Structure 1
Amino acid sequence: MSSSSPALRPVKTEQGAFVHTDADRRLAAEHWLLSAHPQPGYARVQWQTDDVVLLPLGTLFSAVRIPGRLVQAVAASTKPEEIDAILNEVLDRGPVICDLRGPRYYALVPASVPRTWHQAANDWRVADVDCLGRGAYLGVPRLDAAQPTSGTTTYWSVPMPVAGVLCSPLKVARLIAAGAHRLFEEEAPA
C-alpha cells in the first residue's frame, strides 16, 4: 500500500490533533519487525503463507524465554485469556509471544539485554528462563494472531502496540522473580 492510501493517513480529530489508525500502527510494527530479517520481502511472504516467520534476534530486539509455569504462577491461572491480561498489565503492554507447546512466553526486549543483563540472565537459568540474542531465531506470528485459536501453536499474548515498543527489562525481571517466588512458596514443605 502506498502512503497516499486513506487507511494509512493520519486522521484529524475534532480537536485538530492527528492520530494514526490501528491499521497504520500495525503496518508500521510489521515493517519494523520484518526489517530484522536480512530479506524483509521474503519474510513478509513467509509470514503470509505460514502465519509465522523466523526472525533473527539481537539486532532490533532480543527475547526472554519464560516457562509457562512461572507465568502461570504469577497469574494464578492456566487460562490463556487471564494470563494474557496479567502479562499486559505487569509488562505495561510490552509485546509477548506465547508458544502453546510449552507453554513458553517470549518477552520482546531491547537487543542489548543479553549483554547488559548478563548476570541476571545467568541467574535466571535455574528457573529455566533464557535470554536469547545474537545467533538465536524466534518464530514470530503475524500481528493479527492475537489470541489462541485451533490449529495455531503461537500467538501474541500481548500484541506489539507500535513499532519499536518493547518490554522493560526491569519489568521482565520482576515478573520472573515473582513467578520464581510463588513457585518456591508452592513447593516448600509446610
Structure 2
Amino acid sequence: MFVHTRREREVAVGTWLLLSAQSADRARMEWKKGGIALLRCGALFAAIRMNGDLVRAAADTDDAERVDAFLEEALCGGPVFVDQHSAQYYALVPASMQDRREWRERRHLDGTKCLGRDSYLGVPRPEFTEPDHHFSYWCVSMDGPGDLCPVEAVSQLVTYGQYRLATAEARSGA
C-alpha cells in the first residue's frame, strides 16, 4: 500500500488539469502569478456552474464552511471550487455530462450551466483550499487525477437546490 502526501496529490492533480490548457507552460505561469489558469472544458472534464443561491439553498445554510461540508458529502467527495467574487460554484464532472439529455435540452436553466466543448474556465491552483486566502478556492479538493463528481449526484443537487429555492419563493409570496 502506498501513502501519498497531500502535496504529491496536488502536483498530480495539477499535472492532469494542465492537460486541458492550450499551453501548459502558460497555464503554469498563470497559476504562479495570479492563482487562476484558463483551462478548456469538454475533453477531460466538463464543469457545472451553479450560482451561490442555489448551492446555499440546497445546503440549507449561508455558512461557507457548512456549505463546503455539504458539497463534499452530497457530491461524494467530487471536486468543487468557488469563485467568491461572482458567488459561482463549479463542480467538475466527466466530459460526457455535456451530452446528457437534461443538459443538452437545458432543463436545468435556473442558476446552472454545463460548461463543455468550446468553454474555457478559470481554475484555481490545486493547493488553493482556504477561503480566507484566495478569492477562488477548492471547497472540495480533487483527490487525484481524473477523480470527478458523479453525474447523478450533481443533477440531484441541482434539482434539490432549485426545489428549495422555488419553495422559499412560494412561501415568501404567499
TM-score (norm 1): 0.85
C-alpha separation in 1, matches of 2:128 and 2:84: 13
Q: 1:35 offset after TM fit, Å?
A: 1.1
Aligned to 2:152: 170
Q: Does 1:141 align with 2:116?
A: no
Counterpart pick for 2:141 among 159, 168, 184: 159
SS in structure 2 at match of 1:157: strand
Consecutive unaligned residues in structure 1, runs of 5 or more: 1-16
Q: Does 1:188 align with 2:170?
A: yes
SS in structure 1 at match of 2:108: helix
Verify the 8 A CA contact 2:54 2:111 in the aligned structure 1: no
The answer to which of 160-169 and 41-50 deviates more is 41-50
C-alpha separation in 2, matches of 1:184 and 1:44: 42
Aligned residues, how many? 171
Q: CA RMSD of the aligned region, Å?
A: 1.4
Aligned to 2:44: 60
| Partner deviation per Cα, 1:67-117 (whole Å, 9 max, x = no partner) | 1111100111112111101000100110001011231111000112111x1
Q: Does 1:132 align with 2:115?
A: yes
Query: Which amino acid letter does the alignment assign opposite residue 128 of structure 1?
Result: G
Aligned to 1:8: none
Q: 1:119 offset after TM fit, Å?
A: 2.6
% identity of equivalent residues: 40
After superposing on structure 2, the runs of 4+ consecutive aligned residues of structure 1 that deviate more than 4 Å are none
C-alpha separation in 1, matches of 2:89 and 2:6: 24
Aligned to 2:3: 19
Query: Which amino acid letter does the alignment assign opposite residue 73 of structure 2?
Result: E
Aligned to 2:94: 110
TM-score (norm 2): 0.93
Query: Which amino acid letter does the alignment assign opposite residue 184 of structure 1?
Result: A
Aligned to 1:10: none
Counterpart pick for 1:119 among 94, 97, 102: 102
C-alpha separation in 2, matches of 1:54 and 1:120: 23
C-alpha separation in 1, matches of 2:143 and 2:74: 15
C-alpha separation in 1, matches of 2:49 and 2:128: 19
Aligned to 1:31: 15
Q: 1:23 offset after TM fit, Å?
A: 1.9
Aligned to 1:9: none
Verify the 8 A CA contact 2:103 2:114 in the aligned structure 1: no
The answer to which of 166-175 and 40-49 deviates more is 40-49
Consecutive unaligned residues in structure 2, runs of 5 or more: none
